Every structure is written in C-alpha cells, then in structure tokens.
Structure 1
Amino acid sequence: MSFILRTSTTRAALCVTQVIKRSAHKKANIQVRLTQPVDGLGLRGQVVSVRPGLMRNFLFPAKKATYISKDYNPEQEEEVIDNAQLEQEKEEALKRREMATKKDEELLHNLKGVYEIKFSRAVIPGSENTFGSVTVEDIVHKLKAEYDITVDKSNIHVKTEGGRIKALGPHLVTLHVGQQITEITVKVEPTA
C-alpha cells in the first residue's frame, strides 16, 4: 500500500515540475537579429529582445529577423555592419516619421472644418431605430465625397455597440490621427 502512495506522490510532483518547465519558455523573451528596420524595435543589424510569438508569427516569416543561438557572443560577430549604412537607415526612418507627422497634421487641419456629417436612413415605424445602419465605411466614403478627406477606417471608432449607428439623432465618432484624437458628430435623420 505504501508503494502505491509513494508512486502517486512522485508522479504528482513530477507533473508539477513538468508543467512549470513547459510554461517557463512562453514567458521569456528571445534575442533576435533584425535583417530589416522594424518600427518600434530597431534598425537593421541590431540584436533585440522580443516575445517568441512575435518572432514566430511576424518577424521570421516576413524575413525581418533571424534567430540567434543561446551561446551568442557579441564579440564573435561574423557580420560587420557598415556604420554609414546604419546612419543612412536612421535618417530614412526619421524622414518617414516626419512625413507621417506632417501628413497627420494636414489631416487634423482638414478635419477641423468638419463639424457634422449627415446621413438619412429609413425609420422603423413607432421607434427611433433605423432599417439600415451607418457604418465606418459610410463615414469614410462621406468624408471622401463631400470634403475630399481620406481617412483609414481603422482610425475611426464608433462608440455604439457593434461599431454601427442604428438610431436617429446625433452621435459622436472619434478619429485617431497619429497621437491625437478628434471628434466628429454624425447626425442620422429620417428619410423624407
């Protein structure tokens, strides 16, 4: 009988250690070498620490980074990276950021002239709800058609459930432009 008890306790202890060992690698970051500049991580040739899932699902399949072995020693690097090329890549990344900032400022300036966007929808008899809804795509098309403003639909957030406006009246819609947020009123009116 004591043999059975001893066996079960060692199995339980063994299982716990196996579980700890299995989950330990999921939390640790790994060292990778970037083969291309990646926004938010670094420039080409740099060794950075990333989550295994990011490397496995994004960086490695896109050939933006390579794995580094565990016995990596920075003094024994085979590849010498040209400092002039690194400087050029830094300047290009800085120019891209400046262009994006300039584009965002221009978009914000254009959006300041937009106070309200009107849509007309058929109304369900006896309620404030509409048959059709106003979607983010509708807002993007209306901004392009009436104001000649191009906005990515991922930057528009509707605060109602499902990301659609299904009722009459004014509704606030937020637009994320770079680091700034602006709001536009979307007014849904009944079809005459």
Structure 2
Amino acid sequence: MNIAIVGAGVLGSIFGSLFSNNGFQVTLIEVIEERVRLIDREGLWMQWPDGERTHSRIAITSDVGKVGVRDLVIVAVKGYHTRTAIENALPMIGEDTLVLSVQNGLGNLEIIAETVGPERVVGGITAHSGMPVSMNEVRYVGGLGPLLVIGPYDGVSRPGFEKMVRLFKDVSLDVQPTDDINSVIWKKLLAN
C-alpha cells in the first residue's frame, strides 16, 4: 500500500514511522521547507515508549506533484489547515484512493468530503500522542486503547476500507474499525 501523509508534525511523523517500519511505502508531505530539507538529509528519528530510538529514511516533499496517486492519503494537519491541505492533496487522489483524517476536532471530515466525495473519506481517532524533540525527531509517548479507531465517514463499509483494515491488522497495527466514526469523534470531543 502506497501512503502519503499530509503533515509531518508529531502525529504525521508517528504514523509515518509506524507504517514505514511495517513495510508500507510512505511519503510525507510538509509545507515547512526547513523540516523537508532536514528529514530528507538526515532522516526521521523516533523515541518510542520503551526507550528505543530508531531512525528511518522516509521520502518527504513539499511538492505533491512529484508524488503521484496513492492508495491512501492521511491528513494529519491542524484543523484550520484542512481545506488547503486537502485541496493541495488532490493530485495524489485517484479513483480508488481513500482519505483518512487523523485530526482532532469537528468539521474536518465534512471539509474533506466536500472536496473528494464522502465515499472516499475515512475518519480516524487516536488517544496516542507524542511531542516534538526537534524538526526531525519525535518522542512517541503511547496512549490508551487502540492506535486508531477508524470508520467510513458515510457509515458504508466498502471493499477499499475493508482491505485497508485488513492490511493494517496483517502487520499487527492496533486498528479498531467502527461503522459510526462520527459518534466516536463526538465522544472524544466530550471527553477532552
């Protein structure tokens, strides 16, 4: 599975490392040119909850035109950047591409659905977190529950979504599918 992650901040870097370390082809998309140059030159460092520190060479660019169509585009930007991020990501979104939002807050899925169509949109919630150490290093502190709770925005489980869940589980990523992601998002919002 070819994955593009829009936003190479804390969550984008965590997911980029996890997916890359589990055999997925990952490209990070980042607008901060200093971060792009640093990760491109020196790689991405992760500090894991068990104390291990790992180094990954993950492709990174600010130019989505160089990336091509992906199987999955993960949106990992702050909510106020959602519209710009998804509009800029359009060259990576093909006929069968899914778009997974791992953002906090309300309204992000609706913005993405307006841009790419609701049938492509998958919502994701995580109770895992981290903190930046430097522009190319993140400390992953872990979290409670599964790594990701994911579900189709429109509540309809399609073959592409089911395949994505199966691929994630095949490499032991702790993913919990749901048919009502909107309720899960609201519950997290109320708990915060």
Give the alignment's TM-score, normalised by structure 1: 0.21
Give the alignment's TM-score, normalised by structure 2: 0.21
Q: Which structure's relative contact order is higher, taking Cα pairs within 8 Å and 6+ residues apart? A: 2
Quick check: which one's strand share is greater?
Answer: 2
